[in-house]
Structure formats: structure tokens, C-alpha cells
Copies of this chain bind each other. A is one copy, B any other.
Amino acid sequence: MKPTATMRAETKYLWFNTKTRREYIRITDQIAAFISECGLQDGMLLASAMHITAGVYINDWEEGLIQDIDAWLERLAPVNPHYKHHNTGEDNGDAHLKRLLINHQVIVPITDGKLDLGPWEQIFYAEFDGKREKRVILKALGM
């Protein structure tokens, strides 16, 4: 059992405003910097998209794969004018489904003052209905 320090919670918001409607943005470095600033040594970090047409996921930082992921999301949750949601005047039904498919949040463990990620794990913000201001919340809990 390790010596205990005082547990605490730390919060930060990341803002995004993409130029295109769909975009995949690597945010690992911003999250690592937040943990360094906090000085947390051990715990968990939540990164969660606060808008319901965007997500957060962990996978490879490789351009071909990112294109594969985008094509796959479009195949399983396609742009389609006939969603019932569009009766409200919206046109982003596909973006809601894409967020559900890729998920909107990840928990990253913190060990020895750093994000405890596997060798190829990178954290991404996935925008499915962009060109406007959106937020991701970072909430760290630990000591």
C-alpha cells in the first residue's frame, strides 16, 4: 500500500470550432499538459464531449486508419434526409448516431504523474457536426 496524499478533483474545458463538419483532432498532448499542471500523481481522468453530436475515443494516430474510421461511421450511421429528428428542422441525425457508435467519453488512468496509455493509444476528439463552438470537459480525480 502506497503512502496516501490528499485526494482532489481538477476540471478544465477544451474548446473546439472546426472548419469542416466532420473532423478528428488529436488531444493527447493537451490532456497530458493538464495532468502536469494539476500535479496529480495517481488517479483517473475523464475526457467527455459535452455536445451530443461529438465524441471522444482512443485509437491509432495514423491518417489511413482515421479515414477508415470515418468511412465506417458513415456506413453504419449514414447521412440521410429521412431521420425523424429532422422534423424539428435539424439536419444532423447522422451526427447523433455517430456519437453513440464511437462513444462520447474515455477514462484515462494516471500513474506516476502521467497518462498511463498503451504504446499506440492516442486520444481523439471526433466532431460530427462542426463549424461552431463546442466543449470537452476534463475532470481528473486523484492525488
Interface residues of A (CB under 8 A from B): 1-2, 4, 6-9, 11, 39, 42-44, 46, 48-52, 57-60, 62-65, 67-69, 72, 76-77, 83-88, 93, 96-97, 99-107, 109, 111, 116-121, 135, 137, 139, 141-143
Query: Can you report 9 residue pairs joining A to B where beta carbons are below 8 Å apart?
Result: A11-B42, A43-B139, A49-B118, A51-B121, A52-B121, A57-B100, A59-B99, A69-B96, A109-B137
Among the listed B83, B97, B118, which residue makes an inter-chain contact with A64, where contact means beta carbons less than 8 Å apart? Answer: B83
7 closest A-B pairs by beta carbon, nearest first, are: A50-B118, A64-B84, A109-B139, A65-B85, A7-B7, A9-B42, A64-B85
Q: Are B109 and A11 in contact (CB under 8 A)?
A: yes
Q: With A69-B100, A105-B107, A139-B109 in contact, is A51–B120 under 8 Å at CB? A: yes
List residues of chain B with CB within 8 A of the CB of A137.
Answer: 109, 116
| Copies of this chain | 3
Q: Among B8, B65, B67, B97, point to the contact of A72 (Cβ < 8 A).
A: B97
Judge whether A9 and B52 touch: CB under 8 Å.
no
Residues of chain B within 8 A (CB-CB) of A111 are 11, 139
Nearest chain B CB to A46 CB, angstrom units: 5
Give Cα distance in the complex from A100 to B119, angstroms: 17
CB contacts (< 8 Å) of A86 on chain B: these are 64
Decide if A85 touches B109 in the complex (CB within 8 Å): no
